[in-house]
Structures are given as structure tokens and as C-alpha cells.
Structure 1
Amino acid sequence: MRLPVTPYGSARAAFRRRLPVHPGAVLLAGVAALRAGAGVLQLAAAESTAATLSIQVPEALVVGLPETGDGAVAGRPGDPLDGLVADADVVAVGPGLTDIDATGELLRGVLDVAPKQTALVVGALSHAPDLLVDSGRPVVLTPNLTEATHLLGRDPGDDLDAEAAELARRYDAVVSLYGHIAAPDGRCWREESGDAGLGTSGSGHVRAGLLAGLLSRGAEPAQAACWAAFAHAVSGQRLAPRFGRIGFLARRLLDEIPHTLATV
């Protein structure tokens, strides 16, 4: 199993034109994928951060990509990213990207070379909202509320089940909107055990990587999204007795993932 190529960035920052680089996001997502059972991890990040990431995640092949003057991944890096994507079983784009102008181009480049059967975890579709419609690809979208606003063209309402279902129909993909999961065929699920602590910075990156890891093990997109939401929530529950409901850090979730999955 080869998993996943993950350009980095800040999901919350995706709609601002210029922001500092955030290599911690790709570290959290990549390690979460390994913790969920991914066999081979490949990380692609801006050249200026690749060496640091390779030290922080020695289990991964880390490749540096051309970057903009602000340190964001360039829009269409080409080689070596193309080769990694073409051989990957799952590709995670994000979590988040720092340059709004380059994000759509990057996603188009990934789609140009990724085989049709390659599963995609996408958190940056709001930059190119119609790109995956009718693509026939196995895709899971993982928007936050800001990204959901852009995808819906309005502010999400209080019924996130309905909003996830609308996004799934509109973009022909499984949608994981926090604990609200929907498939394009109308099936819906909800994970209700998540607590306030999962709102901590970086938690969404962990969930995206966890999802990619489960896809790499052969789970279908809807199944992987449901299991990722469950494992993410229960990992947070396991931390609460030690750190409090809102006192743990996203990196602490990583060590809980294997035990959570093993005890199901």
C-alpha cells in the first residue's frame, strides 16, 4: 500500500491570499495515516520544509516541491509529484493549502496523473468546486465550516446532516463534515461521541490522515469516513481523563489511534 501524497498548508487559512507556511499540518496528517495502518507513506511539501519533515517523520519518503516566493507549494509542480501520485493507492490533497491561486492548479495536476481507481481525500475543493463532478473517482471531501460555506455558496445551517447530504449530491463524493457523513446515493451517518476537545488546532489534519490510512487498507469511501470519524472521536475521549475535555493537543490523538482501532 502506498500512501499518501500530502501537500501541506492550513485548512482554516485556505481562503486568504498569503499566509506563513505550516508544515505541522502535513506531519499530523501523515503520521495519522501511518497510525491507521498505511503501509508506505510519501509526503510532498515545499522544498524549504522538506528536510525538517524528513527528520520529524523518518518513516516517510519526503519530497520537496517547487514553491512560491511566500513558501507555498507551487500550482503545478510536475515531477517529482507526478510520479508519486501516479503510483499511490490514496492521495490526500491538503489538509489545506496556503496560496489560493495555486490550489486549483495543484488539484488539477493531481487529477491529471492519478489513476481513476486512486482514492482521493480532498480538503481544498472549494478552490475548484466543480472539478470532481462526474469524475467517477472514489473521493471523500473533508471541508471545515469555512470551506463548506464556499462549496454551498452560503453559510451552512444548523442541520449539518442536511448540509453534508447536499454537498455529497452536488459534488458526487462522500462528505465528512465533522461527524456528519453523507454519500451521493443519499445514505447518511452521524458520529455523536465527539467532544469539544476535537476542535483543537490541527485535529482536522489528524482526521484527514486517519481517513487516508483507512482507505489504504481497502475500505470503501463511506466506510472509511465513518470509521475515521469514530476513531477520531474515541481517541479524543481516551485523552479526556488525563488532559480534560479541552486540554489535549492534536498530536496526542496520534498515539491513541492504533489502540482505538484495535479495540473495536
Structure 2
Amino acid sequence: MTELLTAAQMRAIEQAAIDAGELTGLELMERAGRGVVEAIFEEWPELDRRGASPSRSPGYLGPDEGKPLRAVVLCGPGNNGGDGFVVARLLHELGWEIDVFLYGDPEKLPSDARKNYERWADQGIVKVYSINPPPLVDEYLKLPNKIDLIVDGLFGTGLTRPLQGVFTLLAEAEIRSLLRKHSVRVAAIDTPSGLCADSGRVIGQIITADLTVTFHSKKIGHMTAKGPANCGVVRTKPIGLRSSEGDEIVRLVDPEGELHPKDTPSNKYAHGHALILSGGSSKTGAARLAARGALRVGAGLVTLGVPLSAQMEVASQVTAVMIQRVEGADDLSGVLLDERLNTLCLGPGLGLERARELVPVVLDAKRATVLDADALTAFADDPSALFAQLHEKCVLTPHGGEFARLFPDLSEKLAAMPTKGPAYSKVDAARDAAKRAGCVILFKGPDTVIAAPNGRCSINAAVYERAVPWLATAGSGDVLAGFIAGLLARGLEPMQAAEMAAWLHVECARSFGPGLIAEDLPEQLPKVLKQMNI
């Protein structure tokens, strides 16, 4: 899986390479600056005027193309600013007109950043402004005069306090609109200034980017919370560092090698039997969606446990899914005598009273279990009563509201306005919740976070090119619960099942496209699995 780093983890990786003599800080900074320039030209080829082809010679240039391109490079007081000085120098060498602004005192720059500041200043081409106290933005940036590019090298991953000073004006909607009107592109180095790299949360204000260029690996903040809305396109550039290992590293869900086809001769019981408990009459739709999802994802058998009042209703709606009467706790205990039932799923449409009665019986069976919806809300008054019964084979799948009912203190921390970085993140919240519950937590959302009690954590992000806003439709979460149950029935471990199910859920939505309703999701699985050669 692709690693997603915190700012501290990235610094540790860089320092390890420096300490090992593999690279110097200056070499890393030079590679980062070159990566930014490469990414800018990849994203906006019209800004790349390198080469000597006839189409680029003066005689072939249009009236605007003949003018030098102009970039404003904003450099901050840390190493992100050092990267900015490299970018300024490289663009100038390519014939750009460059205005460089330093926010801070050049005497206080870190050693490598100071050297690159001096390399730029020694050229004597454009004066470097030390903005302390700050001037007016329109006086120095000369908005709306012609600017082709703004490079944000103010804070990057080093942000620990709210964005302040003159450049907060670039975070205002009116200025942003002005930049767009005049086709000014904004490229951020590592992260847009104002974005917490560890959480994706905005600290104070933020300078929204059209392009964000990061190094070695994406950061957690690129993929969570407000990151995707403010980073624009994210490009990752290698700078010669090694990958990291360990459960402390968050990773993007990658299904490669996680799910194997049914390629050995066997009977249906070899692929597991999932029992999904339903609510009463007129409350069975959610459980039926989950059952369909479990069956499609590969469970050998799926049975719906329904009360007598709903049996005829369910019987008229299902075919391959079987039906078993489960009126209450005694019926359920009897059904669970069949040890071939290796996975249980309850919550979708179950009803709160029915959930309070049946959840303890299910958890006492100590089998792979998915708890969703009503099975979570039923314990909102006393979450500790639920946690006391959970075991390591469980997967809880709360959305934001359900998470707040079970973990109100964690939800409150997550909702609090951050005043410094690193800010408390959805990753932090999911990890803390998993440790408290003693089982896997799948914290739903476009930035779904999946965490295990041992600290292992992954993100299934439906953002950027994977964005599927049409997945926000009634019943889609019920199908996800069914996917997890089906994969557990097939023998996947809870963390593995949750990751795979979340990934397949998004891929099915992408496969169908706009107009999706929950019933469509399971029917896309054959196509998606075939594309995966499964």
C-alpha cells in the first residue's frame, strides 16, 4: 500500500538519509525544487517554453507568448521557503521574470534554506523583501497586473500556527476570484499554506492551490478532511528517499494481492456462511441490501434472520439469499448452534430495541461480526456496555453521527477548531476509537479511515480522481456492511476485510457512475472483480 506520512515522519525519513550519508539537506532541497518545476510544467504545458523547436522560436510565438512569463514566489521562514528559493532560481534560469517575497527574517532561516536564499540574492536580479512588518499585498504583488504563477513556499508541512501576515489576503475569496479571473495558477510546495499536513484540517486561513507538489509520499492531510478541497491536483515527486515500514505508518488502501479468486474445487460452505439480521415488517430493505452485497462479494451462503412479521415480505424479495426465522434472543441462540455460520452482521434496519436484545447474543458467539447502524446507536446511552462485549473479530462501521454517539469525547476533539498544528485528525480519532473498543473501526466518509487496536491504520479516500459524490445515497452504507460481512465469511481478517470492502464499494460506484442507487452497487461487483482478475 502507498504510505501516507505525517510531517514528523517525513522529517525523520529525511534526517535518516542525511545521517546515513546518502544525501545532504542541500541536495534534498535542490531535488525538491526541481520536482516542483517539473510538476508545474507537467500540469500546465503552456508554461513550459523550453526547447528550440520552430513552434517556440520568436517568429512563431503569438503576441502573448513572446512576453516573459512572470512568477511570484512566496518563501517562508523554514525549509519550505528554501525549496521556494530553488524554484525561483530554476524558473529564472529558464527566462522567467521572478519576484521573490520572504515572510520572516533571512538571518533566522535554517542553514540549507539560508544558503539557497543567498544563492538567489547573489544574482542581484530581484530584491528579496523581508516582510516584517508586512506591506500591502496590492503594492508588492501588483495585483491584478500580469502574473502567470504564484508559488506558495510559505509553510508547507511545517505549519504549527495559524497562517498570519500579508499573505492571508491570498486566502480571501475576493483575491482568489481575482486570481482565477486573470488565469493566475497557484502551486503549493508540499501543502497549501494553512493546511495541517497531518490532519487535512485548516488552521486559521488557507491559500488554496491549483497544484500541490509533495515529495517522496503524500501526506495524510492531502487525502483527508479539507485537504482534497484545497490542494487542487497533487503530484508526488521522488527525491531519493527510502520507504518506511511499521504499523505507525498510515497507508492508502491498495487491494493488490488481498483477495484471491475461488479457484479450488470446494462446496459453498468452504466460502463461509453469513447471517444478516433484519428488522421487522417494512424495515427489511437495509438488511436485504447488506445480504445482496455479502452474496455478491463471494460468501458461499447468506441467510437473512427475520422475525415472523417480516417473513412473507422478505420471501417475496429474495431468491439466492435464504431466510431463517429469528424472533428474539432465544431463536438466535438456537440458530447459532450451527457452527457453519461463521460471520454475523446486524444493524441495518434492525431497530433499536431489537438491536439491544440481539447484539449481546451475537457478541457472545465470538464469531466474525459486523456492527452497523442501529447496532451502534442502540448503545449511545452507555457505549461502555457495548465495548465490554466486543472482541477482536468485530468490525464497527460508524458514520460521523454514530461515531459521535459512541465516542463523544473523540468526536468533540475532532470538531474543535484547531489553533495549532499538528491538529487532531480523523486518523487519530479512529485509532483512539479502535484501541478503546478493542476491534477494527471503519470510520466512514469520503476519507474513510480504517483502524485496528494495534495502531495499524489505512485510508480509503474517494477524492480527487476517485471522487464519487453519487455514493451519498440511501442504503449505500448497508451494502458496505454486507461487503465486509461477505469478505469475513470468505476468511479475510477484520482489518483486511474492512479495507477491501471499502475499496470495492468505491470502485463499484465509479463503475456505475452518476444516477447510482444502493441496489446498483452489488451488481457492479462482477465487473469490478473481473477487472482485478479475480
Q: TM-score, with normalisation over the residues of structure 1?
A: 0.81
1:197 aligns with 2:465: no
- Find the counterpart in structure 2 of residue 59 from structure 1: 320
Deviation at 1:47, TM superposition (A): 1.7
In the alignment, structure 1 segments of 5+ residues that lack a partner are 10-18, 67-75
Equivalents in 1 of 2:276, 2:523: separation in Å? Answer: 20
Equivalents in 2 of 1:54, 1:170: separation in Å? Answer: 40
Question: Do the aligned partners of 2:479 and 2:521 also contact (CA within 8 Å) in 1?
Answer: yes
Flag the 1:20–1:164 CA change in 2: closer, same or farther, 3 A. farther
Match of 1:32 among 290, 293, 305: 293
- Find the counterpart in structure 1 of residue 497 from structure 2: 224
Equivalents in 1 of 2:326, 2:403: separation in Å? Answer: 28
Q: Read off the aligned partner of 1:225 and give its amino acid letter.
A: A
1:1-264 correspondence to structure 2 within 5 Å? 1=269, 2-9=272-279, 21-66=282-327, 76-79=328-331, 81-86=332-337, 87=339, 88-98=341-351, 100-112=352-364, 114=365, 116=366, 118-123=367-372, 124-128=375-379, 129-130=383-384, 131-133=386-388, 135-154=390-409, 155=411, 157=414, 159-178=425-444, 179-193=448-462, 194-240=467-513, 244=514, 247-264=515-532
Look up the SS of the partner of 1:254 in the other structure: helix
Question: Do the aligned partners of 2:276 and 2:344 also contact (CA within 8 Å) in 1?
Answer: yes
Flag the 1:160–1:195 CA change in 2: closer, same or farther, 3 A. farther
In the alignment, structure 2 segments of 5+ residues that lack a partner are 1-268, 416-424
Deviation at 1:238, TM superposition (A): 0.7
Flag the 1:238–1:85 CA change in 2: closer, same or farther, 3 A. same
Q: Read off the aligned partner of 2:519 and give its amino acid letter.
A: R
Flag the 1:257–1:145 CA change in 2: closer, same or farther, 3 A. same
Q: Read off the aligned partner of 1:141 and give its amino acid letter.
A: L
Select between 21-30 and 152-161 the one with higher mean Cα deviation: 152-161
Deviation at 1:263, TM superposition (A): 2.2
Q: Read off the aligned partner of 1:65 and give its amino acid letter.
A: V
Equivalents in 1 of 2:496, 2:459: separation in Å? Answer: 12
Q: Read off the aligned partner of 1:83 and give its amino acid letter.
A: G
Deviations 1:7-60 (A, max 9, x none): 235xxxxxxxxx984211011000100000000111112222222212322112
Q: Read off the aligned partner of 2:512 and give its amino acid letter.
A: L
Equivalents in 2 of 1:174, 1:106: separation in Å? Answer: 20
Question: Do the aligned partners of 2:391 and 2:439 also contact (CA within 8 Å) in 1?
Answer: no
Look up the SS of the partner of 1:250 in the other structure: coil
Deviation at 1:177, TM superposition (A): 1.3
Equivalents in 2 of 1:261, 1:191: separation in Å? Answer: 18
Look up the SS of the partner of 1:83 in the other structure: helix
Equivalents in 1 of 2:524, 2:390: separation in Å? Answer: 35
Deviations 1:160-183 (A, max 9, x none): 322221211110110111221011
Deviation at 1:3, TM superposition (A): 2.7
Flag the 1:186–1:139 CA change in 2: closer, same or farther, 3 A. same
Question: Do the aligned partners of 2:329 and 2:357 also contact (CA within 8 Å) in 1?
Answer: no
Q: Read off the aligned partner of 1:119 and give its amino acid letter.
A: A
Deviation at 1:126, TM superposition (A): 4.1
Q: TM-score, with normalisation over the residues of structure 2?
A: 0.42
Look up the SS of the partner of 1:219 in the other structure: coil
Flag the 1:102–1:201 CA change in 2: closer, same or farther, 3 A. same
CA root-mean-square deviation? 2.2
Question: Do the aligned partners of 1:176 and 1:225 also contact (CA within 8 Å) in 2?
Answer: yes
Select between 84-93 and 164-173 the one with higher mean Cα deviation: 84-93
Look up the SS of the partner of 2:330 in the other structure: coil
Deviation at 1:188, TM superposition (A): 0.8
Deviation at 1:134, TM superposition (A): 7.1
Question: Which one has more relative contact order, counting CA pairs under 8 Å at least 6 apart?
Answer: 1
Question: Do the aligned partners of 1:85 and 1:91 also contact (CA within 8 Å) in 2?
Answer: no
Deviation at 1:190, TM superposition (A): 0.5
Larger Rg: 2
Equivalents in 1 of 2:281, 2:389: separation in Å? Answer: 35
Question: Do the aligned partners of 2:360 and 2:389 also contact (CA within 8 Å) in 1?
Answer: no
Question: Do the aligned partners of 1:44 and 1:50 also contact (CA within 8 Å) in 2?
Answer: no
Q: Read off the aligned partner of 1:109 and give its amino acid letter.
A: V
Look up the SS of the partner of 1:58 in the other structure: coil
- Find the counterpart in structure 2 of residue 72 from structure 1: none
Q: Read off the aligned partner of 2:495 and give its amino acid letter.
A: A
Equivalents in 1 of 2:452, 2:360: separation in Å? Answer: 23
Q: Read off the aligned partner of 1:120 and give its amino acid letter.
A: T
